[in-house]
Amino acid sequence: MIIHSKSPARVDLAGGTLDIWPLYLFHENSQTVNFAIRCFAHCWLKPRQDGAIEFVSRDLKLREKFPSLDALKKAKSFRLSLHARLTIEFAPATGFTLETDSGVPAGSGLGGSSALNIAICGTLARFLDLKLSPAKLIEVARNVEAQVLQIPAGEQDYYSAVFGGMQAIHLTPHGVQPEKIVVNADEFSSRSVLCYTGQSRNSGINNWEVFKARIDKKGGKEKVTRHFDRIAAIASDMRLALETKDWEQVASLLNQEWSARKKNHPGISTPKMEQLISVARRNGALAAKACGAGGGGCIFFFVKPELKAVVETQLKNAGAILLDSRMAPRGLTISKTA
């Protein structure tokens, strides 16, 4: 028997970083708008007869093995911490080999670790025949990822990984409430370009610095607060623009979001990112913004459909790596074969 699951990464269009608790409670009408892309995290689980637990990461080219669950629990450190801590949390009674692969580069800003997290959670839940609701699955994934990162984890990535499509993720005192945004996937994808800069980044560092700046009682808190107020307002307007297919407004809001975000921390943009954005704009890109926390990783561009191929070619010539920006209509899927 082999259990296979896959879940999509995402591109955040507006309202990122606000999805970290409790930042969203400090700003009116907080929401994050994102869409799932056809770049998937995969997880395969095959039961073992010897009781051992083995982890294999294809993309990281790492492998580790423990003779039993008890041995895993007693280990002082892990090469694949997410795999290990999720397995400890689910506590299977029998051994298995868990193999994973990521469809996006490490440090891409596309929520790849969270997509992988959801894929592993889905696989382990199916293996143990647990009937977890999407909300419970997300809760476990988020909490374990915070343990691994040792800093607060955001909310948005898990929702795109679980549900797919385009979403407005409302962040309220009553909880996180995802709302599906109905968008023609082909029409939107014809205007989307996504590239990897070649520079990996640590999303936790930029997000943590901004998080601290927002809650600090001194320093530049007032300025950061104003920027987050603006980011929250842009996200609300973005949802409306997408619902009404106002593509000109979508482009304008993307530019406004990127401008407001860069003011929160000097490391959010890099010379390489600015160079690629300049190349894309000279060749017809209407808007650009970093994915995730910035500081490297990926850049999302919004273009006129007739200029998409030109922008992609020029970005590639400038050293960028193009990724699939098509929308993934579905989130987590799990299958079992004999």
Map out the domains of the chain as residue ranges.
Answer: 2-177, 185-323
- The CA distances from residue 64 to 81, 101, 178, in Å, are 10, 15, 36
**Over the stretch 206-258, which tens digit does the pLDDT of each residue have?**
566 777 777 776 655 677 788 889 999 999 999 999 999 999 999 999 999 99
Q: How confident is the model at residue 338 (pLDDT cuts 50, 70, 90)?
A: confident
pTM of the model: 0.93
pLDDT given for residue 154 in this prediction: 86
| Distance (Å, whole) CA 213 – CA 293 | 15
In DSSP notation, 204-225 reads: HHHHHHHHHHHH-SSSSHHHHH
| Distance (Å, whole) CA 283 – CA 51 | 57
Indicate the fold that domain 185-323 takes in CATH. Answer: Alpha-Beta Plaits (3.30.70)
80 backbone dihedrals φ, ψ, rounded to 5°: -120, 80
In a 13 Å sphere around the CA of 252, the CA atoms on its Cβ side amount to 6
- Bridge partners of 46, per DSSP, are 97
Instruction: Indicate if 185-323 has the same CATH topology as 2-177.
Output: no
- Bridge partners of 178, per DSSP, are 169
State mean pLDDT over 53-60. Answer: 97
| The two structure tokens encoding residue 66 | 């423990």
The separation between CA 140 and the C-alpha centre of its own chain, rounded to angstroms, equals 16
For the domain covering 2-177, report its CATH number. 3.30.230.10
| The two structure tokens encoding residue 161 | 């990984």
**Over the stretch 124-159, which tens digit does the pLDDT of each residue have?**
999 999 999 999 999 999 999 999 988 778 899 999
Percent of the chain with pLDDT over 90: 79
